[in-house]
Structure 1
Amino acid sequence: MIKLDRLTKIFAMRGANKVVVKDLTAVFPSGKSVALLGRNGAGKSTLLRLISGSLRPSSGRVLSTGTISYPVGFSGSFHPQLTGAQNTRFVARIYGVDTDELVDYVRDFAELGPHFYMPVRTYSSGMKSRLSFGVSMGIPFDTYLVDEVTSVGDGAFRAKSVAVFDDRRARAGAIVVTHSPPMVKRMCDMAVVLENGKVVFYDDIDAALEHHEENMQKPRPK
């Protein structure tokens, strides 16, 4: 279970304040795969980072009864001067898992070849995503945070990534950001629509997608 308790995040931008979420209280149930829907700029990735603890809220707090992954697809946690292997070992030590086992898993899964032993600063965005996804899937979290799993690699690699993610979801929950309605219907049990710093929960995936589509047709909030 993940509980957002009066969560607020405000960024100062060009002399004005941008409110991402304001006084948000919500509960993500254990063992459920939840789609996080919202237009570009609504704050989906920021909310994932707040839930993971990689970004501090302006006020409020995030409470959890289990372990939470960092947002897969967000590679900001990797040190650019370290190699993929060194970053993997560092993450393994942070989460208390066997370093050699995680390195072996990520090396095989991410398919980076010799680049796995090169500095992350030399990676393309796709290579960083492969490394991020591999590291996260190699650690047994209670809740996985995933930002656009379908954007990782080519078709064959995406299929492999989805298959691994399906296996993890059989034993854990997830919060998934994706712009693909078919992927939402395939991977998620319920959905949340984020708009103007507020969320609406839906047990009915179709109703959530309809709400999201209605928001997409409206002018962007200022």
Structure 2
Amino acid sequence: MIVLRNLSKIFVLEGHRKTVLDSVNAVFPSKVSVALLGRNGAGKSTLLKMISGAMDVSGGEILTDGQISFPVGYAGSFHPDLTGAQNTRFVARIYGVDTDALIAYVEDFAELGQSFHLPVRSYSSGMRSRLAFGVSMGINFDTYLIDEVTAVGDAAFKKKSRLVFQERMKSSGALFVSHSLGQVKEMCQAGAVLEDGQLHYYDDVRDAIAHHLRNLNA
């Protein structure tokens, strides 16, 4: 479970304040895949980073009772001068999982070939996303933070990503950011819409999609 309590996030850029989250209160239940919907720039990725601990909050607090993944798709998840294999080994040590087993899993899943042993700074954005998704899915988290990653790759890789994600969702939850509403319907049970600093949670993802579409058409 993840609880947002009076959560605020404010950015100050060149003297201008932008409020991304304005005293938000919400509960994301355990073992539920929740779609996080909103316009570009609404703050979806910012919220994922704060929940993971990668970004500080401006006010309020985030409470959790399980292990949460790093935000998959966030470029800052990996050190650019380390290889894909070295980054995987580092993550395994952080989370206390079997290093060799995780490296073997990611090398097979991400399909990076020899690039797995090259510095991450040489990767395309798609390659980084495949590495991040493989590392995340290779660890049993209570909640996965997913940001558009399953859209990466050819049709076969997308299918493989969906299948492994669905398998993890049998025992875990997720916060899932995607602009593909078809993918959201397929992979999420509930939904939350972020708009103008406010978050609206829906137990049925179809209600969240309807709210999101109303915002887009307004």
**Category of TM-score, reference length = shorter chain:** over 0.9
Aligned to 1:178: 178
**Does the 8 A contact of 1:52 with 1:71 survive in 2?**
yes
1:59-74 matches, within 5 Å, as 59-74=59-74
Cα displacement string for residues 110-160 of structure 1 (whole angstroms, at most 9, x for unaligned residues) = 010110000000000000001000000000000011111332212111111
Q: 1:14 offset after TM fit, Å?
A: 2.0
Indicate the residue corresponding to 2:192 in structure 1: 192
Alpha-carbon RMSD: 1.0
Cα distance between partner residues in 2 of 1:35 and 1:176: 5
Determine if the alignment matches structure 1 residue 88 to structure 2 residue 88.
yes
Matched, 1:115 2:115: yes
Q: Which whole-Å CA distance do the structure 1 matches of 2:121 and 2:139 have between them?
A: 23
TM-score, length basis structure 2: 0.97
User: How far has the Cα of 1:7 moved from its partner?
Assistant: 1.1
Aligned-pair distance for 1:6?
Answer: 1.4
Other-structure match for 1:98: 98
- The residue correspondences of 1:136-147 to structure 2 (distance < 5 A) are 136-147=136-147
After superposition, what is the alpha-carbon deviation per residue over 1:80-123, rounded to whole angstroms, capped at 9, x for unaligned?
A: 00000000011111111111111111011101011000000000
Query: 2:126 and 2:80 mapped to 1: Cα distance?
Result: 15
1:38 and 1:58 map into 2 onto residues whose CA distance is 20
Say if 2:36 is the partner of 1:55.
Answer: no
Structure 2 residue 148 is matched with structure 1 residue 148: yes
Look up the SS of the partner of 2:45 in the other structure.
helix
In the alignment, residue 98 of structure 2 is paired with which amino acid? D
CA distance in 1, matches of 2:138, 2:41: 30
Q: Is the 8 A contact 1:149 1:158 kept in 2?
A: no
Matched residue, 1:201 = 201
Q: Percent identity?
A: 61
Classify the secondary structure of the residue corresponding to 1:76.
Answer: helix
Q: Which amino acid aligns with 1:171?
A: S
Distance 1:91 1:103 in 2: 10
| Residue aligning to 2:125 | 125
What's the CA shift string for 1:13-52, capped at 9, x where partnerless? 1210111112111110111111101011100011011111
Distance (whole Å) between structure 2 residues aligned to residue 151 and residue 32 of structure 1 = 20
Q: What is the TM-score with the length of structure 1 in the denominator?
A: 0.95
Q: Structure 2 CA distance, aligned partners of 1:35 and 1:163?
A: 17
The one-letter amino acid of 1:170's match is K
Partner of 1:165: 165
The separation in 2 between residues aligned to 1:10 and 1:41, in whole angstroms, is 13
CA contact (8 A) 1:149 1:162 kept: no
Q: CA deviation at 1:207?
A: 2.0
Structure 2 residues not aligned, in runs of 5+: none
* Structure 1 unmatched ranges of 5 or more: none
Counterpart amino acid of residue 47 in structure 1: L
Aligned ranges 1:39-54 → 2 under 5 Å: 39-54=39-54
